[in-house]
Chain A
């Protein structure tokens, strides 16, 4: 899994690509925690390069989103497709996170 952050005006964009599984899901949570510690309120996870996510990855997304929400912030997902999108749909997490087609759309809503 590769995580490439970009600091935007109102949010931090994290481009996540590759595979998020039991072995590396904690890396995503740790990367988000670092930005939260630095004061980021909104994180946008751009996921069009995400090929695989298991429940350990879902746990990380949920944990990060709950932390941000308790600080009046949000974790916004965009670019979900393929099996990762099905995984979010099957677990009905699609309705729990704000989800947009693209990072541009997500930024415009902030």
Chain B
């Protein structure tokens, strides 16, 4: 069943970050997302939105849209989309997690966190737009 998305579009830069995150978290609160999932949702939003702000339109500028919908109480589906260069976070290379401190790469950890924390994460490129969609609550992790 199609469900109605609530949307906010803003310039894709770090100044928009807080407003976009607060917009989606307000949706999470209305949907009754468990408190334990709220910080994880915020983390996934930050990682994906920082990526768009920094890389999607380089060296130009553009917009990013956050959209959310709730199919059932306690659940939230989020979509983040931009019209920047093709970037599929699900296929981005992950850093070498076995490297010791001196060789440990400093980048790439955000994408790893997104893939670990978000549920049902998917990417599509259509009509010149990147769209990453995901759901919360995310996968339940044992022992945490």
Contacts and interface: CB of A to CB of B under 8 A. Distances in A.
Contacts of A23: 14, 17-18
A65 B110 CA distance: 19
Interface string A72-110: 000000000001001101111100110000000000000
Contacts, number: 62
Q: Tell me what chain B mostly uses at the interface: helix, strand, loop, or mixed.
A: helix
Is the interface on chain A under 10, 10 to 19, 20 to 34, or 35 or more residues?
20 to 34
Is the interface on chain B under 10, 10 to 19, 20 to 34, or 35 or more residues?
20 to 34
Contacts of B43: 52, 54, 83, 87
Nearest to A84: B39
Contact of B102 (A22, A66, A90, A92): A66
Given A51-B39, A58-B109, A86 B101 contact: no
B29 to A, nearest CB: 17
B3 interface: no
Interface in B62-120: 97-98, 100-102, 104, 106-107, 109-110, 112-113, 116-117
A93 B100 CA distance: 9
Interface of A: 21-23, 51-52, 54-56, 58-59, 62-63, 65-66, 69-70, 83, 86-87, 89-93, 96-97
